[in-house]
């Protein structure tokens, strides 16, 4: 099994942030509690995500936060994403899908955030949201929409499952089998792939193990 050098896969799509970017950070305000960015409390995490969503340097922060992430070890909320979301983003990039962060920022701007919010309610999948935004004239791809949904406080699961193990197994063994096998061959853990799919860890790991065991038996 080939283990990727994760560091070498870091995105280079946006320029290095200017040295003074932190001066404009929303979390420097006195009414923002720094502990919210490292807490296990859901209320605190929600406040941290909300602060990031208003931050003018969210793209710069995400770039710098990711450069500090090490392999599977990452913690805290930075650049609007929590550790699990950054891990899922890493796997997106292993598959060659890199977000356009400026476009993602446009999607959470006052002009587009209402539309994004309505699509989050009406579409069951990232694919559907992306198609709708393209019809609106925005050249977006699924990973860019995924980051925008994360930034706006949504879940953005990659699979449109019904919340039960059976429908998840059908997707894992069907349309998502090829990328999952690629991720496994590159060294991704089951838990990482569950994060990439956007499903709860325990359910996702179980579905992945069962399905891939069946595939190995059949081959």
Determine the size of the site formed for ligand SF4 (CB under 6 A): 13
Please, where are the H alpha helices in the chain? 42-53, 58-68, 83-94, 101-107, 110-122, 126-135, 142-151, 165-172, 177-185, 190-197, 201-218
CB of 13 to ligand SF4, least distance (A): 18
Nearest to ligand SF4 of 57, 143 (CB atom): 57
Q: Of 52-60, 94-102, 165-173, 178-186, which part binds ligand SF4 (CB under 6 A)?
A: 52-60
Torsions phi, psi of 141, nearest 5?
-120, 175
Residues 6+ apart with CB under 8 A from 19: none
Q: Are 137 and 121 in contact (CB under 8 A)?
A: no
Answer yes or no whether residue 79 interacts with ligand SF4 by CB under 6 A.
yes
Q: Of 77-85, 114-122, 162-170, 208-216, which part binds ligand SF4 (CB under 6 A)?
A: 77-85
CB of 90 to ligand SF4, least distance (A): 18
Which residues of the shown chain bind ligand SF4 in the complex (CB under 6 A)?
A: 25-27, 37, 51-52, 55, 57-58, 61, 78-80
């Amino acid at each position: 099994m080939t283990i990727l050098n994760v560091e070498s896969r870091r995105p280079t799509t946006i320029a290095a942030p200017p040295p003074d970017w932190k001066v404009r950070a929303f979390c420097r305000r006195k009414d923002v509690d720094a502990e919210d960015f490292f807490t296990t409390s859901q209320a605190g995490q929600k406040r941290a995500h909300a602060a990031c969503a208003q931050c003018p340097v969210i793209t710069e922060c995400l770039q710098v936060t990711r450069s500090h992430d090490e392999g599977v070890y990452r913690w805290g909320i930075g650049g609007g994403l929590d550790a699990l979301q950054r891990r899922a983003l890493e796997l997106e990039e292993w598959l060659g899908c890199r977000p356009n962060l400026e476009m993602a920022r446009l999607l959470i701007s006052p002009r587009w955030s209402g539309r994004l919010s309505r699509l989050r309610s009406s579409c069951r999948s990232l694919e559907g949201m992306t198609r709708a935004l393209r019809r609106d004239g925005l050249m977006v791809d699924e990973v860019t929409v995924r980051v925008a949904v994360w930034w706006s406080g949504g879940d953005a699961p990659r699979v449109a499952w019904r919340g039960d193990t059976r429908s998840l197994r059908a997707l894992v063994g069907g349309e998502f089998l090829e990328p999952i096998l690629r991720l496994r061959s590159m060294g991704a853990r089951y838990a990482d792939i569950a994060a990439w799919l956007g499903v709860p860890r325990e359910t996702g790991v179980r579905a992945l193990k069962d399905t891939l065991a069946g595939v190995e038996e059949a081959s």
